[in-house]
């Protein structure tokens, strides 16, 4: 097991190399579950665990006790959380009889989704050393468990081993969500890990352009007989006839969004929803969370460094900010809907598995350790001309997060999706640069409260 310790300072290296480089390999797609071997599962587990350690290796030990986001637990919780998930789910499935540490198994068990910081319970957290000992014990036990498996046939949602696949993908989800927290730490307690690359920051984005999408019939939902793991909200089927609309060819860039900031968009009440204005006023927000420096001459907070503003990268904002930009743009501009995203991505390029994870035209699966310039990966361009329909940053949708017809909560994790089907949580889609495994699938469905931060931006649509 790799310890979560501070890495040696990176000095101008390229970091995680792009696909095709001899110096690094992208993470593997999730294992095919139709006939997996214990060796394949073990390799995927090892890579999954290493990715999480690699991310946290960029955090100074003294910062693990910090709470980077007032809506989330201190980082030490996330050191132990993914490990505890393996323990609790394998026990729930009947594959393990005993836990590792009764207190820590429960303390690290469940994350949070508070509407406000006042809703977050204060708990007594263990030290980093205690959390690492727990994590190390879980690693050894899971590794031995997988080594001893004799897998016969497919692993399906009704199989106890689905709990293992679920634990692996939960680990990958928290690589991404933990990266958002680490990105909010002070710069003096983070160091870019060796092998972490940022995309090129130079240049300007293309002008805002609109593309027409003709009426299209789409279907949402993961096939019940799919070959890889899926979360419960991905199952079910929704068939929809999508009316013609227009949408921006590219994700909204930092340069595009700067117009809104410069026009005092954050001070104009008429541009904000009621909930959005409450959030903006309460937090005294004047610019995107990951912009630093002055409002008029901003710089950019990447994962581990402050950079010159990459004007051509997609802007990263919460849903309230995205909605306000749409009102500022005018002319009926609005956020894309989930079925409209499916319509414009209907004929998007796919990889050899029929998915998007390994396709070179998308900034997914840690191709970079950051967003990249919009429209910079032409092999991912759709026949209609849209760029970045998958990857780069998540895309906020104008929809509330809702189940697909036929949804059934999975008994190993019934609270994964069901509590969030409401008007408080917005849907997102498309994946981001930090999405790996099943999270980098074109079928993955994400949701967050509209004032939460993620590696998320947006595309603008209009009716015709």
Quick: pLDDT tens for 321-346: 999 999 999 999 999 999 999 999 99
Listed in sequence order, the residues at least 6 apart from 364 whose beta carbon sits closer than 8 Å to its beta carbon are: 356, 357, 390, 391, 431, 432, 433, 435, 436, 440
pLDDT digits (tens, 9 = 90+) for 151-206: 989 999 999 999 999 999 999 999 999 999 999 999 999 999 999 999 999 999 99
Q: Could you tell me the CATH superfamily of domain 38-189?
A: dinb family like domain (1.20.120.450)
> Phi and psi of 26, rounded to 5°?
-70, 155
Q: What is the pLDDT at residue 113?
A: 85
Listed in sequence order, the residues at least 6 apart from 174 whose beta carbon sits closer than 8 Å to its beta carbon are: 52, 78, 81, 82
- Per-residue pLDDT for 12 more than 80? no
Average pLDDT, the chain: 93
Overall average pLDDT of the 80-93 stretch: 98
Q: What is the pLDDT at residue 82?
A: 98
Overall average pLDDT of the 35-63 stretch: 97
pLDDT digits (tens, 9 = 90+) for 354-370: 999 899 999 999 999 99
- Per-residue pLDDT for 16 more than 80? no
Q: What is the pLDDT at residue 5?
A: 36
pLDDT digits (tens, 9 = 90+) for 234-244: 999 999 999 99
Question: What is the C-alpha radius of gyration for the chain, rounded to an integer number of angstroms?
Answer: 21
Q: What is the pLDDT at residue 378?
A: 97
- Per-residue pLDDT for 3 more than 60? no
Q: What is the pLDDT at residue 110?
A: 85
pLDDT digits (tens, 9 = 90+) for 221-280: 999 888 999 999 999 999 999 999 999 999 999 999 999 999 999 999 999 999 999 999
CB burial readout 217-256, b (16+ within 10 A) else e: ebebbbeeebbbbbbbbbbbebebebeebbbbbbbbbbbb
Q: What is the pLDDT at residue 449?
A: 97
Overall average pLDDT of the 22-29 stretch: 68
Q: What is the pLDDT at residue 15?
A: 28
By C-alpha distance, which of 445, 458, 451 is closest to 392?
A: 458
Neighbours of 385 (CB within 10 A): 13
- Per-residue pLDDT for 302 more than 50? yes
Q: What is the pLDDT at residue 293?
A: 94
Q: pLDDT class for 6, splitting at 50, 70, 90?
A: very low
In the sheet that 210-213 helps form, which strands lie side by side, from edge to edge? 210-213, 245-248, 460-463, 334-335
Neighbours of 437 (CB within 10 A): 29
- Per-residue pLDDT for 4 more than 90? no
Q: pLDDT class for 111, splitting at 50, 70, 90?
A: confident
Share of the chain above pLDDT 70, in %: 95
Would you state the CATH architecture of domain 210-463?
Alpha-Beta Complex (3.90)
Q: What is the pLDDT at residue 19?
A: 28
Q: pLDDT class for 98, splitting at 50, 70, 90?
A: very high
Q: What is the pLDDT at residue 112?
A: 83
Q: Where are the domains of the chain?
A: 38-189, 210-463
Q: pLDDT class for 26, splitting at 50, 70, 90?
A: confident
Q: How far apart are CA 281 and CA 98, in angstroms?
A: 49
């Amino acid at each position: 097991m790799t310890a979560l310790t501070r890495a040696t300072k990176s000095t101008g290296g390229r970091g995680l190399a792009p696909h095709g480089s001899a110096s690094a390999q992208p993470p593997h797609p999730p294992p095919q579950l139709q006939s997996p071997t214990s060796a394949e599962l073990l390799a995927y587990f090892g890579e999954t665990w290493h990715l999480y350690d690699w991310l946290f290796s960029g955090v100074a030990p003294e910062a693990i006790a910090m709470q980077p986001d007032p809506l989330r637990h201190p980082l030490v919780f996330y050191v132990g959380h993914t490990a505890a998930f393996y323990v609790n789910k394998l026990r729930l499935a009947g594959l393990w009889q005993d836990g590792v540490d009764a207190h820590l198994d429960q303390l690290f068990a469940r994350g949070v989704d508070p509407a406000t910081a006042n809703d977050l319970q204060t708990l007594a957290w263990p030290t980093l050393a205690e959390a690492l000992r727990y994590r190390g014990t879980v690693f050894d036990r899971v590794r031995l468990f997988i080594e001893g498996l004799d897998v016969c046939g497919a692993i399906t949602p009704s199989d106890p081993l689905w709990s293992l696949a679920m634990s692996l993908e939960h680990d990958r989800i928290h690589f991404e969500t933990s990266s958002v927290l680490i990105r909010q730490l002070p710069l003096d307690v983070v160091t870019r890990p060796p092998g972490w690359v940022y995309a090129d920051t130079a240049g300007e984005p293309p002008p805002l352009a609109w593309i027409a999408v003709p009426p299209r019939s789409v279907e949402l939902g993961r096939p019940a007989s799919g070959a890889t793991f899926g979360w419960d909200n991905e199952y079910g089927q929704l068939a929809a006839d999508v009316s013609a609309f227009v949408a921006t060819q590219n994700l909204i860039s930092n340069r595009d969004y700067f117009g809104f900031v410069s026009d005092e968009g954050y001070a104009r009440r008429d541009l904000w929803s009621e909930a959005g204005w409450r959030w903006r006023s309460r937090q005294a927000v004047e610019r995107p969370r990951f912009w630093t420096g002055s409002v008029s001459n901003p710089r950019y907070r990447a994962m581990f460094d402050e950079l010159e503003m990459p004007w051509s990268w997609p802007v990263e904002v919460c849903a309230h900010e995205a909605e306000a930009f749409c009102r500022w743009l005018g002319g009926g501009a609005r956020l894309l809907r989930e079925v409209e995203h499916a319509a414009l991505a209907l004929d998007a390029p796919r990889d050899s598995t029929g998915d998007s994870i390994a396709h070179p035209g998308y900034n997914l699966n840690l191709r970079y350790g950051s967003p990249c310039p919009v429209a910079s990966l032409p092999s991912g361009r759709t026949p209609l001309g849209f760029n970045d329909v998958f990857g780069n940053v998540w895309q906020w949708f104008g929809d509330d997060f809702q189940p697909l017809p036929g949804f059934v909560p999975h008994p190993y994790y019934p609270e994964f999706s069901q509590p969030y089907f409401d008007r408080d949580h917005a849907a997102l889609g498309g994946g981001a640069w930090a999405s790996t495994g099943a999270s980098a699938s074109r079928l993955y469905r994400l949701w967050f409260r509209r004032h939460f931060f993620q590696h998320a931006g947006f595309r603008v649509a209009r009716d015709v």
